[in-house]
Chains A and B, each alone.
Chain A
Amino acid sequence: MSYLPKPKLHHPKLPTNAIGLTRRDYEGAISTLCAGCGHDSISAAIIQACFNLSLPPHRVAKLSGIGCSSKTPTYFLGAAHGFNSVHGRMPSVLTGAYLANRDLIYLGVSGDGDSASIGFGQFAHSIRRGVNMTYIVENNGVYGLTKGQFSATSDKGSVAKKGNVNTDQPIDLAAIAVQLGATFVARSFSGDKEQLVPLIEAALLHEGSAFIDVLSPCVAFNNHPGSTKSYDYVREHNDALNRLDVMLPRQEITASYAPGALTEVVQHDGTILRLRKLHDGHDPTDRASAMHYLMERKAAGEIVTGLIYVEPEAKPLHQNLGTVAAALNSLGDADLCPGVDALERINASLR
């Protein structure tokens, strides 16, 4: 960690976005994580994505649990709402917040311990319900805060820093998210912002539960030759499915591609996810094929990254529940307590 704050002086040509903010305006406090932590790169990618989308920081709610990853919301979007919850309980706190105020943009940040162990059930149900959120797992395969024990996402056969070999099966959170009905599932790598930033942008725009599993090397405990989540290992085994460009509605489309090289997915709000295909035989809108593809590549020892699955016509939780269009926390007493006559009518209808 650094003791000094990051100097406020910035590049004289630092661009501003549609709402007049610079990228620096989306930063938070300086990171206290270990130098070189992949999580810091993910924070930088979130900052870049929010800047690119011109999100007003005060319309974002960032929630997290416990762990190295869950510390990171302090390091980005200093002007956003924040909630640092109990270990593994971020998804239910986020669900509650989303139910109370559907107008905010929800960003849940968690780690492999927080989501694949103590909060595994919470993770599953928030995804299953279709909470409109971006759920990012900063996945380093170890318990970093307690000095590097294997986590539930550590690959079988991978070696700890001191030489122990992992004998347990890993949980593939992305595969499980597909299975649980997440309507946007991606995997990426903290060391590849070109891939990660557009994925975060697309996830933030996606109306439904968007899940991104981001491999994020732990420099202190899991960046050694026996690790399967080190910078070197991930770079060597990275099997990128596609490259994503996020096109906002009404944005002029200029680049041209050879036919067949491109898949365009139009989302509910009109945003276009343009995927430059790097692999034949993978259709990101076909859930069964996505599952199959993940299994197949895993068996081949590859780490699939990119946009794995997207359901363009996703229905978020509020739509399923049929709640009013206004945020519940904005309803006044008259709406919430419509009076004796209204109660009578409801009771009568149930008799």
Chain B
Amino acid sequence: MKPTDISSPDYFHKVVDCQWACPAHTPVPEYIRLIAAGRYSDAYMVNWHSNVFPGILGRTCDRPCEPACRRGRVEEEPVAICRLKRVAADNKGEVLSRMPEIPSERNGKRIACVGAGPASMTVARDLAPLGYEIHVFDGAAKPGGFIRQQIPRFRLPEEVIDEECGFALDRGGVVSHMNRRVDSLKALLAEGYDAVFVGSGAPRGRELDVPGRKEAAANIHLGIDWLASVSFGHVKSIGKRVIVLGGGNTAMDCCRSARRLGGEEVKVVVRSGFEEMKASPWEKEDAMHEGIPILNFLVPKEVLHDNGRLTGMVFEKVAAQYDEKGRRSLLPTGEPDVTIECDDVLVAIGQENAFPWIERDAGIEFDRWGLPKLDTETLQSTDPRVFFGGDAAFGPKNIIWAVAHGHQAAVSIDLFCKGEDVKVRPAPDVRIASQKMGIHEWAYDNAVSLDLRYKVPQLPAEKALRDITAEVELGYDREMAYLETQRCLNCDVQTVFTAKACIECDACVDICPTDCITFTENGEEEELRTRLKAPAVNTYQDLYVQDGLKTGRVMVKDEDVCLHCGMCAERCPTGAWDMQKFLLETAKPKAHACHSR
């Protein structure tokens, strides 16, 4: 293998599994250490710079970081990254003064953002400090989009939404046009904006197409619309027996909301198997914890009604079959159909994009799935002035992806407005610094905690079910949060090897608790992986290879299960190993107004 080029920012970035997995590349270990130090406001700001909505995401994020967390590979469960983020938000002090100033002098450029969801708000937050004048349009009375309308209050209190939308929109430089739905892109473009960002989401719930659907329409509701009505207080009750169709997180929000509005027998029915459901495991757990059964492998066949009054639904039993290519199909088992009686049905079987307001001749090309044709890096559409982000760009994803798109689009818009090539992307801000303070003294806490993941305290179910606005999760208190922070392995503190200082004494090999380090003859990667001190079977994780040793061997470190405990560096007599903190911040629009430094 060729020696690893550690000067490429991607190499060490990938070692920080959580940050690499986060679409917005939040420097997770950095903020976890700040929480451990009791520096909650600092931890909040690290988050705010990267993901804009720490309080909201700390409760609702899909947490791609957690399945990626290295801790999950050396122990049972990952660090509770998401809930630690909430701790930073819950305990922060005054942070407004730390946010970049909005200059009173504008740069003369006007940007329109369609929709006031997380993607648009991120664009606004990133661009306003540079002097842009941002106009945000939304049909609703308050900003937030999906965050405000579809996420139930028992998961996300309204104050948290208000505060963080305020940080993005109400500090100046942004004109919010609420209650104003954009119904023509052509008209909007005609208003002379320098660029338009479309962050209008995937606003249409997928329909259920079975016999009886139309006749019993009065008691069949589309999940996302129903959640919005609940959120706005238009809907205050539901029947005693409720069927929720669908296996995603929206279905979980629907069933748990129904349980709080009078639903006594609420059942979730999914086509697929329980394991393949799209909902996050913890959301399924929370639903089941509230006494909601999840019935799987049932395909809706018919809606039963009595002269238009909904009485129940019929489902066909299916089983998953896999062909030789591993593709799954759901085939009827031939068992008798299942009938479930109910008073209401909530349909949460998916969302679709819809752009009725974009004229077909407005210059925006769409693909055959009805999604805009975009450059995946710049998010620029076929009209160079128009950029897309969030669910509107590539279909329904989640909040953290919307934020990531927002940053990407903000960079593009800034380049575009300056007349620069949007394809020439600014490099991320990378810093790497030794953590050595003395003999076996490091600037980070390198002791490895053996504690198992701490459970987030919850409101007792009987209390939680009585009030739809009572937040179920209480969040960690400071003490529990501290203990949970200690489970973080500090994967951003990198093991950096200098071959010319090495005397090949094997001290690092002997001390490494997870057998990551091997000194051996070089070879091709595939073969090399088999003859390391512990076979390196996780090919997603890189091998760190350095040559230039006196014996002609190479140092090979399997990054997979390194605990970043620093023992190799402590036992190294010559300082060939050093522990260096790698801090990467993704590129933000020029002038770095929204950078943490």
Stretch at the interface among A37-45, A109-117, A201-209, A306-314: A37-45
Contact across chains for A3 and B514 when beta carbons are under 8 A apart: no
Stretch at the interface among B61-69, B569-577, B585-593: B569-577
Contact across chains for A193 and B506 when beta carbons are under 8 A apart: yes
- Chain A 1-43, CB within 8 Å of chain B: the 1/0 string? 1111011111111100000000010000011001111101101
Complex CA distance for A11 and B563, rounded to whole angstroms: 10
Return chain A residues, CB-CB under 8 Å to B219. Answer: none
CB of B329 within 8 A of chain A?
no
Q: Contact residue range for chain A? A: 20 to 34
Contact across chains for B534 and A35 when beta carbons are under 8 A apart: no
Q: Which residue of A lies closest to B489 (CB)?
A: A9
Complex CA distance for A3 and B511, rounded to whole angstroms: 13
CB of A235 within 8 A of chain B?
yes
CB of A191 within 8 A of chain B?
yes
- Nearest CB in chain B: distance from A107 CB, A: 18
- Nearest CB in chain A: distance from B151 CB, A: 36
Contact across chains for A231 and B563 when beta carbons are under 8 A apart: no
CB of B73 within 8 A of chain A?
yes
- Nearest CB in chain A: distance from B207 CB, A: 46
CB of B446 within 8 A of chain A?
yes
Q: A34-B573, A36-B572 are in contact. Are A8 and B567 (CB under 8 A)?
A: no
- Nearest CB in chain B: distance from A47 CB, A: 9
Q: A4-B447, A14-B534 are in contact. Are A219 and B505 (CB under 8 A)?
A: yes
Q: Which residue of B lies closest to A13 (CB)?
A: B534
Q: Which residue of B lies closest to A217 (CB)?
A: B505
Q: Which of B529-570 contact A (CB under 8 A)?
A: 534-535, 537, 550-551, 561, 563, 565, 567, 570
Return chain A residues, CB-CB under 8 Å to B507. Answer: 35-37, 40-41
Return chain A residues, CB-CB under 8 Å to B509. Answer: 44
Q: Which residue of A lies closest to B551 (CB)?
A: A235
- Nearest CB in chain B: distance from A221 CB, A: 12
Contact across chains for A11 and B567 when beta carbons are under 8 A apart: no
Complex CA distance for A219 and B505, rounded to whole angstroms: 9
Contact across chains for A235 and B506 when beta carbons are under 8 A apart: no
CB of A232 within 8 A of chain B?
yes
Complex CA distance for A285 and B467, rounded to whole angstroms: 87
Contact across chains for B573 and A2 when beta carbons are under 8 A apart: no
Complex CA distance for A3 and B565, rounded to whole angstroms: 12
Contact across chains for B450 and A231 when beta carbons are under 8 A apart: no
Total number of A-B contacts with CB less than 8 angstroms? 99
CB of A132 within 8 A of chain B?
no
Contact across chains for B573 and A44 when beta carbons are under 8 A apart: no
Q: A36-B503, A40-B510, A41-B510 are in contact. Are A8 and B450 (CB under 8 A)?
A: yes
- Nearest CB in chain A: distance from B539 CB, A: 14
CB of A158 within 8 A of chain B?
no
Contact across chains for B571 and A12 when beta carbons are under 8 A apart: no
Return chain B residues, CB-CB under 8 Å to A231. Answer: 503-505
Complex CA distance for A31 and B508, rounded to whole angstroms: 12
Contact across chains for B506 and A191 when beta carbons are under 8 A apart: yes
- Nearest CB in chain B: distance from A35 CB, A: 4
Complex CA distance for A40 and B509, rounded to whole angstroms: 10
Q: Which of B495-523 contact A (CB under 8 A)?
A: 503-507, 509-511, 513-515
- Nearest CB in chain A: distance from B297 CB, A: 33
Return chain A residues, CB-CB under 8 Å to B551. Answer: 235
Contact across chains for A11 and B534 when beta carbons are under 8 A apart: yes
CB of B75 within 8 A of chain A?
yes
Q: A4-B446, A35-B570 are in contact. Are A11 and B505 (CB under 8 A)?
A: no
Complex CA distance for A8 and B447, rounded to whole angstroms: 11
CB of B440 within 8 A of chain A?
yes
Q: Which of B120-170 contact A (CB under 8 A)?
A: none
Contact across chains for B505 and A12 when beta carbons are under 8 A apart: no
CB of A223 within 8 A of chain B?
yes
Complex CA distance for A11 and B514, rounded to whole angstroms: 4
- Chain B 427-446, CB within 8 Å of chain A: the 1/0 string? 00000000000001000001
Contact across chains for B503 and A3 when beta carbons are under 8 A apart: no
- Nearest CB in chain B: distance from A6 CB, A: 5
Q: Which of A43-66 contact B (CB under 8 A)?
A: 43-44
Complex CA distance for A11 and B509, rounded to whole angstroms: 13
Complex CA distance for A1 and B73, rounded to whole angstroms: 28
Return chain A residues, CB-CB under 8 Å to B474. Answer: none
Q: A36-B574, A235-B550, A235-B551 are in contact. Are A9 and B513 (CB under 8 A)?
A: yes
CB of B448 within 8 A of chain A?
yes
Q: Which of A176-196 contact B (CB under 8 A)?
A: 190-191, 193
Contact across chains for B571 and A36 when beta carbons are under 8 A apart: yes
Q: Which residue of A lies closest to B575 (CB)?
A: A35
Q: Which residue of B lies closest to A36 (CB)?
A: B573
Return chain A residues, CB-CB under 8 Å to B74. Answer: 9-12
Q: Which of A203-230 contact B (CB under 8 A)?
A: 217, 219, 223
Complex CA distance for A297 and B446, rounded to whole angstroms: 48
For the complex of A and B, the 7 pairs showing the least CB-CB separation, nearest first, are A36-B573, A7-B448, A44-B510, A36-B505, A35-B573, A219-B573, A11-B534
Could you write out 14 A-B pairs with CB less than 8 Å apart? A2-B511, A7-B450, A8-B513, A11-B74, A11-B561, A12-B561, A31-B571, A35-B572, A36-B507, A40-B507, A191-B505, A191-B506, A223-B503, A235-B550
If A3-B440, A34-B573, A40-B511 are given as contacts, then 14 extra A-B residue pairs at C-beta distance below 8 Å, sorted by A number, are A4-B446, A4-B447, A6-B511, A9-B514, A9-B563, A11-B561, A24-B513, A30-B511, A35-B572, A40-B510, A44-B506, A193-B506, A219-B503, A231-B505
